Amino acid sequence: MTTKLTGKVALITGAARGQGAVEAKLFAREGAKVIVADVMDTEGREVAEQIISDGGDALYCHLDVTQEAEWQQTIATAVSTFGKLNVLVNNAGILKWEGLEETSLELWNQVVNVNQTGAFLGMKHAVPAMRQCGGGSIINISSIAGLVGIGNAAAYQATKGAIRILTKSAAIEYARENIRINSVHPGVIDTKMMTDLVDGDGMNKMAKITPMGRLGTAEDIAKGVLFLASDDSAYMTGSEMVIDGGYSAQ
């Protein structure tokens, strides 16, 4: 049976848990060979091992997305192991809940380095590998925080807005090479990254103010990312896929 990613090789960052882990498992079920990349080695290896035990093909690579040399090594490993690179999902990110005055320069730089510089480095080093196999798809995970103001998350919002426009710039640059680059903008998603920062009451309040009346799931996002990774979205580049239960439409 042909699946949506049969014959494709995909690298997913931040894939040890949450959205990234769900994306990695879904991609494998859809036929992709998956490079599970993260700094959380134990959890990342478990994701790769689960994919393999379920009959898929996966490899874990330690990748600190702020380090250019580690990007180069990970992509070289992907190509040497699986022969090519077709898909990159820049999923790795951190969320800090500080307002403008409370944000130290150290914290600002940390969030920018992971969320923004990490995506830049991923695109920079994935593009040559994709060019070698005639094209590819890059999906940058932004946020509704990159579309609308929410306050008290200065560094996070700045990076997610930057990813949005960086995606459009790169999409134009590489469109004629059949390298498609799109951004995904999740709303409030019920993952550990959120529940580590927001208690149950806070999560319930956010569900109530979402038009669809519920929080998103990692599966909701993974299905959108799968569409952008697959040839079903062959005429899409530079676009924004908003998956937020209607939150940003208000």
- Whether the CB-CB separation of 139 and 182 falls below 8 Å is answered with yes
Q: How many CA atoms lie within 13 A of 204 on its CB side?
A: 3
Identity at 71, one-letter amino acid code: W
What is the secondary structure of 53-75 as a DSSP string?
HTT-EEEEEE--TT-HHHHHHHH
Active site residue 156: yes
Among 54, 180, 191, residue whose Cα is nearest residue 126: 180
Among 18, 126, 117, 114, residue whose Cα is nearest residue 77: 126
Catalytic annotation, pick one of 60, 156, 174, 247: 156
d(CA 44, CA 18): 11
Q: Residue 205 corresponds to which tokens in the numbers above?
A: 């309040």
168-205: burial string, b at 16+ Cβ within 10 Å, e else = bebbeebeeeebbbbbbbbbbbbbebbeeebeeeebee
**Rg of the chain over CA atoms, in angstroms?**
17
- Whether the CB-CB separation of 150 and 206 falls below 8 Å is answered with no
Q: Which residues are catalytic?
A: 156
